[in-house]
Amino acid sequence: MIPDLSWVLGHSKTSFHHSNDAIKLKTNSGDSVSLADLVKETTPPCQLNPLLFNGHLQTFYTVVKSSDVPVVYKRKLFESENPNYPGTFAVDFVHRIPSEDPDTSLPPRTTYFTDQEFGEVGSDDSKPLLVTLHGLSGGSHEIYLRHVLGPLTSELGWEACVVNSRGCAMSKITTSIMYNARATWDVRQVVNWLRKKFPNRPLYGIGFSLGANILTNYLGEEGENCQLKAAVVCSNPWNLEVASWGLRKSWLGLEVYQRFMGNNMKKLFERHADQISKNPDIDPEKIRKIKYLYEFDRALQCPAWGYPTEAAYYRDASSCDSLLAIRIPLLAINAEDDPISVQDAIPYGEFGLNPYTVLCATAMGGHLSWFQSNGERWFAKAAVAFLDKIAKDIDLDANKPAPSQNGNGDASEGKRPVYEPMRRKWHIPKEHAA
């Protein structure tokens, strides 16, 4: 047998996983195309840097300074409208004009809207607008995110914003409530606000890593009522319990990835310790002693949200089941050699059941990496091509989503058991709900 040496040339095999009955999308010209065929048409060949021939090398390369993608932002602090999750959160809007007076309290190229500027926000134009969610402890400044936002907003005429998780991107936490892997409430508020301020703009979504998990959960919770037209999720960990154990099984996974992510979250806690520590169920000293991400989740996320163990938190916050309830076109991009969002956690079977979803899986690429020889990232090209094709060539108003179906049918068929993918375990008891 001739060995597969495609990696020597940097060529990564690409496979597509989807329902045999993928939805048909009507084009502006009156034709129709299946979602699966549209994804295959817009996905470029995955040609990567041959020197970065496995997931670890690809992922490690993210710490190497690469070519910059300048994106300018204007920030607005929003007050949560949901009384169950009080506090403020920061949203950064892509802005075309750099500020002449940099704000050192914010990430590079980011300044606050003045009250007058923000009062003038709003438009009746029909430009596509992308709502973006970053990865664990990241923010709008992350380069992987700007690889997508840069070309969309500077070359293709899109608008975009980034919903920063509470405390991230140099934002402040104003209550004891941080964020977790199923924290969909802030993005829901932003989408509703955008819908009012820009009534004619089609809204789209993209999420990266943990942000991909949150976005997938949001899409599932919204179902056929989702106000986004389509979405992309990159390097989603999908099943958080499987991903966590996958990392803990090897020295590299535990001592490099788990420790690195744990340290980042511990630093995030320290920046906001005064506010977070107001929660009487949280012991700051336990958090300061942790080494790994799963220990952080055990010490902070579990008492903050009432989970008995980090495994219970992971199972409840995972987005693999949410995938079944999505009713807008979704492209998921995962690398099968991703050392963080491990292949064992990818819900291949669920992609085969939901006609609104397509998984593009590459044999190589690492975590939010997919570096090509010129320093660019392949996944950004795939995401941008898909989103722009959907926005400019597809008549999504003619593709009304069907009512959400349960995995085992509709409850109205009788009293037989049904599977409801969004029947979440964590909830706010009625006597405590605002």
Active site residues: 209, 338, 367
d(CA 383, CA 145): 11
**Which tokens sit at 62?**
């993210």
Nearest-CA neighbor of 159 among 67, 71, 35?
71
Cα gap 366→422, rounded to integer Å: 30
Using alpha carbons, select from 188, 144, 157, 136 the residue that is nearest to residue 94.
157
**Terminal Cα distance for the chain, rounded:** 65
Rounded to whole angstroms, the Cα distance separating 135 from 207 reads 8
- The SS3 call for residue 100 is coil
CB-based contact 73:110 (threshold 8 Å): yes
Residue with tokens 């079977």: 349
Residue 350 sits at the vertex; the CA angle it makes with 349 and 351, to the nearest 5 degrees, is: 90
Say which amino acid occupies 188: R
Burial profile 242-277: b = 16 or more Cβ within 10 angstroms, e = fewer: bbbbbbeeeeebbebbbbebbbebbebbeebeebbe
What CA–CA distance (Å, rounded) separates 359 from 55?
18
Closest CA to 398 of 27, 38, 29: 27
Cα gap 307→185, rounded to integer Å: 19
Helical spans, DSSP H, in 120-200: 143-155, 185-197
Identity of the residue numbered 375? G
Both structure tokens of 260:
């690195």
- What is the SS3 assignment for 396? helix
Give the C-alpha separation, 272 to 280, whole Å.
15
- Amino acid, single-letter form, for residue 24: K
Contact 48, 365 (CB under 8 A): yes
Instruction: Tell me the DSSP string of 37-66.
Output: HHHHHHPPP-B--TTS-SHHHHHHGGGS--
Are the CB atoms for 234 and 241 separated by under 8 Å?
no
